[in-house]
């Protein structure tokens, strides 16, 4: 009995730590007070109205959005073939490629950001947008490769061999048999890479420049100057959007699995 | 002339490490041949080499007079039925079966006709719209077979197709497979570790052990005249006793076992003084009250009711525990009774003892 009580207490503490901060932010975003405070005073939607009309938030939101979408798509484009080769073939140096795809997860993103800064910005090869896109793609690519290769590994190899024995070429097997069976993995990879890119700070910190900035960076800068609840309102909006995307995708994935 | 020929074929997963060594096999047109053996004997490897999924490192694979070694698997026109069925999960039954026809660019109406014919043939008419996940194991296996045969392959390969089915269905499917194969007249190579399955389905069976064929023969011959100890054990003979050859006759040899002698049929050339192992089937033993010809003394340890017969476990001093099956009507012996075990020389086979 006492063991059970202990488990409940631990659970309560875990939940408190996990969602406590969000609840505070959520509550603070409706506060009438001019400074971010908890418990909130009164109730107003003023801060929400402010953030969705502020040009710097809108512009950076758009930047973050196209960046996240393009980086995720690029990561899928590169990641699907890499994942397939890693999952299905044995070749010399395979281990090396595997490590290479996990490197961006292991290396501190600050370091990666600095390296990218040196290469692209200082040498001035590409525009800021292109540089941001390359940096974000590099950061999210490993996630795409991991998720997709595990979903390819879940597909029995004999299914591909069956298609081959029926006369299909390797390319045809990939397009007509492998791809339709890993859509769930591809969609989950897209969600994860999208969220990772959208929330990224360290890489963007180094690679953003005059006139172009991503939402998390703008939020950070804003917080350095102002301490009003508008940041809380923005955070609440972002959490709701992310939650909505995840829920919708889960519904879709659940349905597609049944079909 | 053989339709499928394997000439001194060696296959392996690593260089110079062969799972299948120097294998030679000839399969006639329309013949149903099984590769039978324990797991790891190379039977699936052989099958995958024929299909082209594995490269042949030495030797030649010849189908209908043409060397197939360097033809890629998707140009071989060989049907393959997998143990796990390997149906395309995202396609329904119709689309699964139509897959190979679409690749061969048949017109739509021809595809429709062929698919519905083959589905009728395998007994799955009306299941066109179902997805594989909505079918039972037996039905999935029928789809897999339909998908493989609808393209009229030159050769049909099956890798333990029945081993994922339950026992009752497996026996039903055996008869079905045999019927389908004979009606189509398609040359078939079938891999299994189940001797009853191989013997009941095949025209000829190749018993494999450690990458080699031990014996390639008709089911009857394998069953009655196994050529090696390995094959004998695999088709249901149990080790009886070991002894020394003391007399060699025209058909039978005499073997000294302890202080008595037994007569047995020698499956190889044997000479005086040779150490041999005698084997016999559990159902070929008789239990006697007193010593008779060709018998050994023992004691009944347990008596197990099996329906048509009773399984006795008999302890024979210096030999071990032997299984004996006696028809229920004659099974009057009880546990702990001292008895004599008799086996006809005709049913007792002698093989040289491997050192």
Q: Judge whether residue B59 has pLDDT over 80.
A: yes
B31, pLDDT greater than 90:
yes
How much of chain B exceeds pLDDT 90, in percent? 68
Q: Which residues of B223-233 are buried (b: 16+ CB within 10 A; e: fewer)?
A: beebbbbbbbe
Q: Which residues of B touch A172 (CB under 8 A)?
A: 103
Q: B26: domain range?
A: 2-232
Considering only CA atoms, which of A111, A100, A83, A110 is closest in space to residue A182?
Answer: A83
Question: Per-residue pLDDT tens for A23-77?
Answer: 888 888 888 888 777 787 888 888 888 888 888 899 999 999 999 999 999 999 9
| Residue A180 confidence (pLDDT) | 93
CATH of the domain at B57: 3.40.50.300
Inter-chain residue contact B88 with A166, CB threshold 8 Å? no
SS3 content of chain A, % helix, strand, coil (to 5): 80, 0, 20
CB proximity B115 to A under 8 Å: no
Contact A162 B75 (CB under 8 A): no
pLDDT tens-digit readout, A188-219 = 899 889 989 998 888 888 888 777 889 999 99
| Structural domain includes residue A25 | no
Which distant-in-sequence residues (6+ apart) come within 8 Å of B322 by Cβ?
Answer: B238, B240, B282, B285, B298, B313, B314, B315, B316, B341
CATH value at residue A210: 1.10.3720.10
> Least CB-CB distance to A164: which of B74, B87, B147?
B74
Contact A122/B at CB under 8 A: no
Contacts with B4 (C-beta within 8 Å, 6 or more apart), sequence order: B25, B26, B27, B50, B61, B62, B63, B155, B187, B189
B207 with B108, same domain?
A: yes
Q: How far apart are CA B81 and CA B99, in angstroms?
A: 14
Q: Residue B212: what pLDDT? A: 92
Q: What local confidence, expressed as pLDDT, does residue A205 receive?
A: 85
Q: Is A165 on the interface with B (CB under 8 A)?
A: yes
Asked if B88 is an interface residue toward chain A (Cβ–Cβ < 8 A), one would say yes
Say if strands B58-63 and B309-316 run parallel, antiparallel, or are unpaired.
unpaired
> Which H or E run includes B100?
helix B93-103
The answer to whether residues B115 and B243 belong to one domain is: no
A255: Cα within 13 Å, side-chain hemisphere: 6
Last residue of some domain: B202, B232, B262? B232
Nearest to B184 by CA among B226, B150, B160: B150
pLDDT in the model for residue B104? 94
Indicate whether B202 and B300 sit together in one domain.
no
Q: Answer yes or no: is A231 within a domain.
A: no
Tell me the C-alpha to C-alpha distance, in Å, between residue B269 and each of B36, B101, B207, B234, B255: 25, 55, 21, 21, 14
A156 touching chain B per CB within 8 A: yes
Which of B177, B208, B232 finishes a domain?
Answer: B232
The model's confidence at residue A257, banded by pLDDT at 50, 70 and 90, is very low
Chain A positions touching B155 (Cβ under 8 A) are: none
Q: Is residue A98 part of a domain?
A: yes
Hey, are the CB atoms on B87 and A163 less than 8 Å from each other?
no
With CB atoms and an 8 Å threshold, state whether A165 touches B88.
no
pLDDT at residue A124, rounded to an integer:
73
Could you tell me if residue A102 is inside a domain? yes
Verify whether the Cβ–Cβ distance B103 to A166 is below 8 Å.
Answer: yes
CB B55 within 8 A of CB B11: yes
pLDDT for B182 equals: 92
Mean pLDDT of chain B: 91
Q: What local confidence, expressed as pLDDT, does residue A1 receive?
A: 61
**Rounded to an integer, what distance in angstroms lies between the CA atom of residue A83 and that of residue A74?**
14
CA atoms B90, B94, B97, B102: torsion sign = negative
The reported pLDDT for the residue numbered A104 is 73
The sign of the torsion formed by the CA atoms of B207, B208, B209, B213 equals positive
Q: How many CB atoms lie within 10 A of CB B179?
A: 11
Q: How far is A102 from chain B (nearest CA, A)?
A: 29
pLDDT computed for residue A102 by the predictor: 77
The pLDDT confidence band at residue B110, using thresholds 50, 70 and 90, is very high
Chain A CB contacts of B151 below 8 Å: 166-167
Domain presence at residue A167? yes
Best A152, A155, A167 residue to mutate vs chain B (most B CBs within 10 Å): A167
Q: Does residue A69 belong to the interface with chain B, where contact is any CB pair within 8 Å? A: no
Chain B residues within an 8 Å CB radius of A170: 74
Q: Number of structural domains, chain A?
A: 1
User: In this structure, are B276 and B329 located in the same domain?
Assistant: yes
From chain A, pick out residues whose CB is under 8 angstroms from the CB of B145: none
Picking from A42, A38, A135, A163, the residue whose alpha carbon sits closest to that of residue B86 is A163
Output A137 or A103, whichever has higher pLDDT.
A137
Residue B355: predicted pLDDT: 57
Q: What is the mean pLDDT of residues B97-111?
A: 95
Which pLDDT does position A259 carry in this prediction?
Answer: 34
pTM (two decimals): 0.83
For A164, the closest chain B residue by CA position comes to B74
Tell me, what's the pLDDT at B270? 78
Q: Is the peptide bond before B55 cis (omega within 30 degrees of 0)?
A: no
Residue recorded with tokens 């075990």: B341
Q: Which residues of A touch B90 (CB under 8 A)?
A: 180-181
Q: Which residue of B has its CA nearest to A172?
A: B103
**pLDDT confidence of A254, banded at 50, 70, 90?**
low
B118 contacts B150 by C-beta, under 8 angstroms? yes
Alpha helices for B225-350 (secondary structure H): 229-234
Q: Which two tokens stand for residue A52?
A: 């969705």
The CA distances from residue B7 to A15, B10, B52, B68, B194, in Å, are 68, 9, 15, 12, 26
- Other beta carbons within 10 angstroms of residue A258's beta carbon come to 7
**Where residue B332 sits, what CATH number does that domain have?**
2.40.50.140
Q: Which helix (H) or strand (E) holds B20?
A: strand B17-28
Is residue B192 located within the same domain as residue B48? yes
Q: Do B296 and B154 share a structural domain?
A: no
Nearest to B296, CA basis, from B258, B344, B333, B340: B340
Q: Is residue A259 one of the residues assigned to a domain?
A: no
pLDDT confidence tier of residue B225, bands split at 50, 70 and 90 = very high
Instruction: Identify the domain boundary among B232, B266, B281.
Output: B232
Most A CBs within 10 A among B72, B84, B90, hence the mutation to make, goes to B90
Task: Give me the number of domains chain B comprises.
Answer: 2
Q: Cβ neighbours of residue B320 under 8 Å, at least 6 residues apart?
A: none
Kindly give the residue spans of alpha helices, DSSP state H, lying in A154-175: 157-165, 170-173
Asked if A165's CB is within 8 angstroms of B79's CB, the reply is: yes
Mutate to test the interface with B, among A157, A165, A183 (most CBs of B within 10 A): A165
Query: Helix (H, G, I), strand (E, B), or coil: what is residue B261?
Result: strand
B90 touches chain A (CB under 8 A): yes
Tens-place pLDDT, residues A127-179: 888 888 988 998 899 999 989 998 999 999 999 999 999 999 999 999 999 99
Q: In chain B, what residues touch A181 (CB-CB under 8 Å)?
A: 88-90
């Amino acid at each position: 009995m006492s063991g059970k009580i202990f488990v409940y207490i631990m659970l309560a503490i875990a939940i408190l730590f996990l969602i406590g901060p969000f609840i505070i932010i959520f509550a603070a975003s409706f506060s009438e007070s001019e400074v971010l405070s908890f418990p909130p005073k009164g109730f107003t939607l003023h801060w929400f109205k402010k953030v969705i009309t502020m040009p710097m938030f809108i512009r950076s939101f758009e930047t973050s959005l196209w960046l996240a979408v393009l980086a995720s798509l690029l990561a899928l484009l590169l990641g699907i073939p890499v994942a397939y080769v890693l999952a299905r073939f044995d070749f010399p140096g395979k281990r090396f490629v595997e490590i290479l795809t996990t490197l961006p997860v292991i290396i501190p993103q600050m370091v990666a950001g600095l390296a990218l800064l040196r290469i692209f910005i200082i040498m001035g090869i590409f525009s800021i947008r292109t540089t941001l896109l390359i940096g974000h793609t590099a950061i999210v690519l490993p996630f795409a490769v991991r998720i997709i290769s595990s979903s390819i590994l879940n597909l029995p190899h004999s299914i591909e061999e069956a298609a081959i024995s029926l006369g299909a070429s390797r390319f045809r097997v990939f397009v007509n048999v492998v791809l339709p069976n890993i859509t769930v993995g591809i969609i989950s990879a897209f969600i994860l890479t999208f969220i990772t890119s959208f929330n990224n700070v360290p890489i963007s910190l180094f690679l953003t420049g005059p006139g172009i900035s991503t939402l998390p960076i703008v939020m950070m800068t804003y917080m350095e100057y102002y301490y009003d609840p508008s940041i809380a309102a923005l955070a609440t909006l972002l959490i709701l959007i992310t939650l909505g995307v995840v829920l919708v995708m889960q519904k879709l994935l659940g349905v597609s699995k049944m079909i | 002339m053989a339709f499928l020929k394997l000439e001194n074929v060696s296959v392996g997963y690593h260089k110079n490490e062969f799972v299948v060594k120097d294998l030679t096999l000839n399969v006639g047109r329309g013949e149903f041949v099984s590769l039978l053996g324990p797991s790891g004997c190379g039977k699936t490897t052989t099958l995958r080499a024929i299909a082209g999924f594995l490269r042949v490192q030495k030797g030649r694979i010849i189908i209908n007079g043409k060397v197939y070694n360097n033809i890629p698997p998707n140009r071989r026109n060989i049907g393959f039925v997998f143990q796990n069925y390997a149906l395309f999960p995202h396609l329904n039954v119709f689309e699964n079966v139509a897959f190979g026809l679409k690749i061969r660019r048949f017109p739509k109406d021809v595809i429709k006709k062929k698919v519905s014919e083959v589905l009728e043939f395998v007994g799955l008419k009306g299941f066109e719209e179902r997805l594989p996940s909505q079918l039972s194991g037996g039905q999935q296996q029928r789809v897999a077979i339909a998908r493989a045969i609808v393209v009229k392959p030159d050769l049909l390969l099956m890798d333990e197709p029945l081993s994922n089915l339950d026992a009752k269905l497996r026996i039903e499917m055996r008869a079905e497979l045999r019927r389908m194969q004979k009606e189509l007249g398609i040359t078939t190579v079938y891999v299994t570790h189940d001797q009853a399955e191989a013997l009941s389905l095949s025209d000829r069976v190749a018993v494999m052990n450690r990458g080699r064929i031990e014996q390639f023969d008709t089911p009857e011959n394998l069953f009655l005249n196994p050529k090696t100890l390995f094959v004998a054990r695999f088709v249901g003979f149990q080790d009886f006793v070991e002894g020394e050859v003391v007399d060699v006759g025209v058909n039978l040899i005499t073997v000294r076992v302890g202080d008595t002698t037994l007569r047995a049929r020698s499956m190889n050339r044997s000479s005086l003084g040779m150490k041999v192992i005698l084997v016999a089937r559990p159902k070929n033993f008789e239990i006697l009250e007193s010593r008779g010809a060709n018998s050994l003394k023992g004691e009944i340890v347990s008596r197990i009711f099996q329906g048509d017969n009773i399984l006795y476990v008999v302890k024979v001093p210096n030999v071990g525990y032997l299984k004996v099956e006696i028809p229920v009507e004659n099974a009057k012996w009880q546990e702990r009774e001292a008895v004599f075990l008799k086996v006809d020389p005709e049913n007792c086979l002698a093989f040289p003892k491997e050192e």
